[in-house]
Amino acid sequence: MGNWIINHGLSAFILVVWMGINIFLFVYYYLFYDQGPQFEYTRELLGSALPWARAPAAVLNFNCMLILLPVCRNLLSLLRGSFICCGRTMRKQLDKNLTFHKLVAYMIALMTAVHTVAHLLNVEWYTNSFQGRYGPLAGNLSMLDDSRELNTTYLNPIRSNSTTPTLFVFTTIAGLTGVVITLALILMITSSMEVIRRSYFEVFWYTHHLFIIFFAGLVFHGAGRIVRSQQVTDPPHNNSFCEDQPENWGKIPECPIPPFAGGFPQTWMWVIGPMIIYLCERLLRFIRYMQPVSYRKIVIRPSKVLELQLVKPGFKMEVGQYVFLNCPAISQLEWHPFTMTSAPEEDFFSVHIRSVGDWTEKLIKMVENLPEGGQGPMMAVDGPFGTASEDVFDYEVSMLVGAGIGVTPFASILKSIWYKFKDSDPKLRTNRIYFYWLCRETYAFEWFADLLQVLEKETEERGMRDFLTYKLYLTGWDQSHVNHAMVHFDKDTDIITGLKQKTHYGRPNWDKEFEQVRQENPSSVVGTFLCGPQALAKDLEKKCVKYSDVDPRKTKFYFNKENF
């Protein structure tokens, strides 16, 4: 249990607080509408559907306030810099921004479903009450006129026998905006499924921008003031006395005709702050879009990996950060995230792009068809943005795990280490780095092997051979690879990478690797960093919990994952 708390304690606490606020809001507003005296006559028309509609609305307001904040990347980067004094554990929570964004979205979807069903029942019961199906009291309440002079403002929004529930939904502000909001939400959530996001990113990208319509509808949704409450009169209307004799309303002093009014719309007050912050984010993105970006170098590797070395005035980065790239020649709206592979010490920034979708395929083809010495297509850059990898030098020991092109943040880290060695930087706190790279194809190693060779030579010359331990794993091998490796096993360098460290075939035995790191660093805090698939993340996260010790004098593993 103690091991679990080390890695997940603060995240669990934040989740409990968020869930607690949701439960509190739901229960509080359910009781408010179920027992509030100002809604006694409203409940005569609607019954229990009233609190079941209004309680989810309160939860929706809270979560719609939160949903935009986790995707305000400039805000998160600012907080990451400001939280430098708060320790790694607090900053780690910022790396779970997309997980929290999805969690809030699921809560919005659930509450929208409950809210919608309850209001559909409300419209049906409003109609039945107007038609006199629920007794004289409900009928009398439904027949109140909209006349402030006579103090008879209506309770039932259904004002005619010709108004059907369907007509009401599509002709009122609340109904029409509700339909628009619900449709936008369904499209956003369904297009966010993993299979669509990975295979048809453009569908996800464009559909997700329906959030603009969603929030516009949300702001105006309450303007219809469908749910109405009883207003105070002088003399007061005695509900318990008058509800049995609606025929005497307005005729005796104890029973003046009760007026009703819709509640003031509140949703805009919940979401206006996050909307302004997000608007500032988009404005900053537009400013960055307009800033010129030039090419320093373009390299197309044999492994179909495109390397772009770019220069932008005033651009400053940290290790492991990422940028969003936009190529107007492909699409003026699409922005795609890429981790930078350059080091902060270099006077340019670089990205390595693998062909994994329509956008990347088009970009690589455009570059391949460039004339000799020609400039690449116009490129806009937004960023840089902070990630978990920024904290790699805050740990005494770091385990870096990359899968395929997921090695990119660690290229930046390892390059920065080389520069720190070169400049004899005294601020380098890290004592040891373990680097693991898992690849399916042999040619995927080629663009990164040069850097490892330089680091291998540098650490040997400085007598720091133990500082960097790296292991490369070929996961897509066949027997011919193994036979070829066995024939050349006695060579000093690996036949695939040219490195002194031989390539492993298959996948790492993570229990063995974690045990080795724990034995070699018996009292260290180890940061485990992954840029790779979710299945591997779950496995490594479990190992961090398993091999951490609650004793402060022993080894602890902290899991960190790149999220875009």
d(CA 235, CA 262): 21
Count Cβ atoms below 10 Å from residue 279 Cβ, excluding itself.
11
- Helix, strand and coil in the chain, % to nearest 5: 55, 15, 30
pLDDT of the chain, 564 residues: tens digit per residue: 555 666 677 788 899 999 999 999 999 999 999 999 999 989 888 888 899 999 999 999 999 999 999 988 888 887 776 655 456 667 777 778 888 999 999 999 999 999 999 999 989 888 888 887 887 888 888 888 877 666 678 888 888 888 888 888 888 888 899 999 999 999 999 998 888 887 777 788 889 999 999 999 999 988 878 888 888 888 888 888 888 888 888 888 888 888 888 888 888 899 999 999 999 988 988 888 888 899 998 888 766 788 899 999 888 888 888 899 999 899 887 888 888 888 888 888 989 888 777 888 899 899 888 887 778 889 999 888 877 777 787 888 888 888 877 677 778 888 887 777 766 666 667 778 888 888 776 665 666 676 677 777 776 777 666 777 888 888 765 555 555 444 444 555 555 555 666 677 788 899 998 998 888 888 888 888 888 888 888 898 888 888 887 777 788 888 888 766
pTM: 0.81
Residues 259-277 as b/e (b if ≥16 CB within 10 A, e otherwise) read bbebeeeebbebbeebbee
d(CA 206, CA 504): 42
Query: Sign of the CA dihedral 434, 438, 442, 443?
Result: negative
Torsion of Cα atoms, 131 then 137 then 142 then 144, to 10°:
140
**Confidence at residue 487, expressed as pLDDT on a 0 to 100 scale:** 43
Find out whether the peptide bond into 384 is cis, omega within 30 degrees of 0: yes
Choose among 379, 372, 318: nearest CA to 345. Answer: 318
**Confidence at residue 369, expressed as pLDDT on a 0 to 100 scale:** 83
**Confidence at residue 480, expressed as pLDDT on a 0 to 100 scale:** 54
Count Cβ atoms below 10 Å from residue 335 Cβ, excluding itself.
18
**Confidence at residue 29, expressed as pLDDT on a 0 to 100 scale:** 95
- What structural domains and CATH numbers belong to the chain? 2-172+226-282 (no CATH), 293-385 (2.40.30.10), 388-561 (3.40.50.80)
d(CA 494, CA 454): 15
CB 307 within 8 A of CB 301: yes
d(CA 230, CA 322): 55
**Confidence at residue 479, expressed as pLDDT on a 0 to 100 scale:** 57
Helices 534-547 & 510-520, crossing angle to 10 degrees? 40
